[in-house]
Amino acid sequence: MAQHKIGIVGGDGIGPDVIAEGLKVIDAAGVSFERVDYDLGGQRYLRDGTVLPDEILEEWRGLDAIYLGAVGAPGVPPGVIERGLLLKMRFELDLYVNIRPFTAPGHDFIVVRENTEGTYAGEGGFLRKGTPHEIATQGSVNTRMGAERAIRFAFDLAGGRDKHVTLVHKTNVLTFSGDLWQRAFDDVAAEHEGFETAYNHVDAACIYFVESPQRYDVIVTDNLFGDILTDLGGAVSGGVGLAASANLNPARTGPSMFEPVHGSAPDIAGQNKANPIAAIHSGAMMLDFLGETGAAAKIEAACKANAEMIGSTTEIGDAVAAAVAD
Ligand code: IPM
Ligand code: MN
């Protein structure tokens, strides 16, 4: 009997290629689930204008998880799919933290990215658009509740690790939002005896990611800093083809969503070239969140063991599946 009902959005470009490998590995790990496929993304939009209908969103509320490859296709105006599908999903399903772990020799840290606020919230607009006096603003929305719940999640996570939490922000310039984040961080830290804390400005954190990543255990940061830092995290720890992520609704009032950090890479779509490790590892994070901890640990170990494998998408998927089935 399938215990989990999982929505699958392969999406665009290499998305379906890497998700196929993730599903292969989950199968090899012996986890059964009911699969519901959704044809969504840039290609679907170009075909019939569909992005994310409310009926589908409502249906998703009844799922246990969503497993997503990548969305985005050439020819779709910027923002249509990003805001209309991915961010709508994160906001509507209240996926308020985006967890991105990085493990490689000398690297073992997790970024907890706030996932529903900041500059991503969509506050702002144009005045006098298209004229020489045009104005565009894009505000950053920071609620005490939103920052605090991400920070609390980071401390909980660090509790099962090295009990070290670093806040990354830009408090020396963003004196309003940075101040709110710093106070929320300090208040939560004061409740956590035995934890070590640190603060880095985001620009300095970029240097440390490259030069001394071993200083980090759990990092908590806002939405945009987290977006940028996690691409850098991928680049310094084996490549973005290895970087997995979990968009979590920790309160479990709906499904959480699991996706690799990388994009749809349309130039190599369907060529059996994309590294599926990030997608496979994201699948392991999904199983872990669903309580399939044994299978998740096995897949994660197999991803680590095959992190440096050179091969086609299906060869790497097969190697991980074989390691998991042993
Ligand atoms: C990511 C992506 C998304 C983001 C885009 C596609 C909206 O870059 O998941 O990191 O900016 O969050
Ligand atoms: Mn990104």
Ligand 1 pocket, residue 86 CB under 6 Å: yes
56: which 2 tokens? 């589908």
User: Which portions of the chain are predicted below pLDDT 70?
Assistant: 1
Active site residue ranges: 120, 170, 203, 227, 231
Instruction: Check the CA dihedral 129-135-136-140 and report its sign.
Output: negative
**Nearest ligand, measured from the Cα of 228:** 2
Q: What are the pLDDT digits (tens) for 214-244?
A: 999 999 999 999 999 999 999 999 999 999 9
Phi, then psi, of 111 in degrees rounded to 5 = -95, 125
Q: What are the pLDDT digits (tens) for 130-169?
A: 999 999 999 999 999 999 999 999 999 999 999 999 999 9
Alpha-carbon separation of residue 141 from 56, 114, 271 (angstroms): 27, 11, 41
Ligand 1 pocket, residue 82 CB under 6 Å: yes
Query: Which protein residue's CA is at the shortest distance from atom 6 of ligand 1?
Result: 82
Ligand 1 pocket, residue 81 CB under 6 Å: no
Query: Which protein residue's CA is at the shortest distance from atom 11 of ligand 1?
Result: 227
Q: What whole-number distance in Å separates Cα of residue 226 and Cα of residue 220?
A: 8
Query: Which protein residue's CA is at the shortest distance from atom 8 of ligand 1?
Result: 227
Query: How many other C-beta atoms are found inside a 10 Å radius of the C-beta of residue 259?
Result: 29
Query: Which protein residue's CA is at the shortest distance from atom 7 of ligand 1?
Result: 82
Query: How many other C-beta atoms are found inside a 10 Å radius of the C-beta of residue 109?
Result: 22
Task: Please give the model's pTM, rounded to 2 decimal places.
Answer: 0.97
Ligand 1 pocket, residue 227 CB under 6 Å: yes
Q: What are the pLDDT digits (tens) for 161-193?
A: 999 999 999 999 999 999 999 999 999 999 999
Could you tell me if 70 and 231 are in contact, meaning their C-beta atoms sit under 8 angstroms apart?
Answer: no
Question: What was the pLDDT predicted at 159?
Answer: 98
**Nearest ligand, measured from the Cα of 231:** 2
Question: What was the pLDDT predicted at 1?
Answer: 55
**Nearest ligand, measured from the Cα of 235:** 2
> How far away, in angstroms, is 326 Cα from ligand 1 center?
35
Mutation to probe ligand 1, out of 76, 81, 86 (largest number of atoms < 8 A from CB): 86
Question: What was the pLDDT predicted at 326?
Answer: 80
Helix runs in the chain, H state only: 15-28, 42-48, 54-60, 80-81, 88-92, 144-159, 177-190, 202-211, 223-236, 277-289, 293-305, 313-325
Question: What was the pLDDT predicted at 106?
Answer: 86
